[in-house]
Copies of this chain bind each other. A is one copy, B any other.
């Protein structure tokens, strides 16, 4: 037996007991005749004491211990003379009667502490040491607990957890697939799933009624900070449901998660159409932790000889509460902010509401005090507030105002990570026009059902068709998304046609699904949650990387084991593949 207790569980009640612990040396303090060793495992820290009562052998061994040595210690629990109320085991210590080194340790390249001195790259290379840090391990424990909670809810609601294949058929729609050459079927390839979409729909055709899976998905995309080539989804599908049934079911799941994970009762799940979200917040995932709603000012500001506004198709603004004292420098910084290429704004007009109610703006020479009062009224500004106004085409200006709104939310401290404001965004457009390829793409995916009342528009004005598609947004982050599916093979065939598939291509790629629909497909709908993102939100993190045990970097590399890597010529030969030299 290596141990009979963990390092986190010894308490005052255990005084006098002999216990056996094993763990890592967190710290050794040599105070003259006494040596204190903090022994660490996943469960906590226990203080070991080597003093005059200990044998010479133990004293000598204690002197050789370094950080992260793996040791086994036998000893008697005694009360500490100076207790540490910050530690769960802080009332006691272990008077050592036996000590053995199970494994030595080279000095770690960074400290194994919450506030480590290791940089990002070093910590990723030695991820197994980084994971020793309590903050990082806690994130992974949170992840495990969340999976447990999610499964409890879905199991209780009679969802059948069903594994779908990882080696599937490659389809050109959507993002880029990772592919896997088949040795037994030379010159043919599997793909790794971007989602189990088709399989879960087939499970509905199969009468499974309710399906879920916490499942790895894959996308060969150029990576951003918050993207990983492999990621995890909570993937769900239900039969004989309307959109409303799905929203209620997964509102229930979300409430359950908040309750179980954080003890929070989140009651309010408002719903907002895509159109309204775009008008009021400039994007399809509004952060409802604060107001600062976008207001159109076009009608108020035109015709005052201010060319910039007179020429603009759309003028809109927000009111930043309490920012009326912003300095010239701060305002210039905001202008710089919206001019960043990724934001794409051009101009920022401001108006400060003074404490006496008068208004000072950057365009005073074009507008009367009354004009400015009208602006303030439209934006519901109070004394001390700051109006920020910009203009251009409507499609381009609203996203600029969205970015500005989020930036002001940050600056005003309105984005408390422990304040959770969920929102269903509904009625997404079915299709998006792509200028480059001059064709429509499915905004959600090709299996999403148009709203029944919009089906006629499919022939006349496809871009106007709304979908029975929905996103769950929390604090401005898209946590989940789904749709009611097409379950009629004729409508599905029409969708493929609109998306530019020839009959042959549709048959080749999705023939088995359309065929399945001919044998009695039930109405069905589903949703998928981004599990990594959900966990990172609960962990209060901005990136998903720290809720993944072994993440990849922005080039898709695991720097710890240096993969991907070249493979042997024999492997390539077996796969009937040849490498093409890169320049």
Contact = CB atoms under 8 A, between A and B. Distances in A.
Interface of A: 1-3, 22, 24, 40-43, 68-70, 102-106, 108, 126-132, 137, 140-141, 143-144, 147-148, 151, 155, 160-170, 172, 176-192, 198-199, 202-203, 205-209, 216, 218, 220, 222-223, 229-230, 232, 240-242, 245, 487-488, 512, 516-523, 548-550, 552, 555-558, 560-568, 571, 573-582
Contacts of A188: 563-566
25 contacts: A22-B522, A24-B522, A41-B240, A42-B209, A70-B521, A104-B520, A105-B519, A106-B518, A126-B516, A131-B207, A132-B206, A132-B207, A140-B208, A143-B163, A164-B549, A166-B216, A176-B183, A179-B567, A180-B192, A186-B582, A187-B566, A191-B567, A512-B562, A577-B578, A578-B578
B70 A522 contact: yes
6 A-B pairs with the lowest CB-CB distances in the bound complex, closest first? A105-B520, A169-B563, A131-B206, A188-B564, A2-B240, A68-B520
A488 B104 CA distance: 9
Given A103-B522, A165-B230, A555 B185 contact: yes
Given A102-B522, A103-B520, A556 B172 contact: no
Nearest to A487: B103
Nearest to A21: B240
Contact of A190 (B151, B170, B564): B564
B550 A199 contact: yes
A161 B144 contact: yes
Contacts of A206: 127-132, 137
Nearest to A187: B579
Nearest to A518: B106
Contacts of A106: 518-519
Contacts of A68: 519-520
B562 A169 contact: yes
B207 A560 contact: no
A180 B557 CA distance: 13
Nearest to A181: B179
Nearest to A190: B564
Give how many copies assemble into the complex: 2
A187 B582 contact: yes
A118 to B, nearest CB: 13
B170 A567 contact: yes
Contacts of A163: 143, 216, 232, 548-549
Nearest to A215: B216
Nearest to A185: B564
A565 B166 contact: no
Contact of A169 (B155, B167, B202, B564): B564
A563 B168 contact: yes
A574 B519 CA distance: 39
Contacts of A207: 24, 40-42, 131-132, 137
A25 to B, nearest CB: 8
Contacts of A562: 169, 512
B148 A161 contact: yes
A144 B519 CA distance: 26
Contact of A189 (B192, B522, B564): B564
A141 B211 CA distance: 11
B518 A168 contact: no
A488 B103 CA distance: 7
A187 B567 CA distance: 9
B218 A166 contact: yes
A535 B223 CA distance: 38
A147 B155 CA distance: 11
Q: Which of A166, A208, A563 has the most CB of B within 10 A?
A: A563
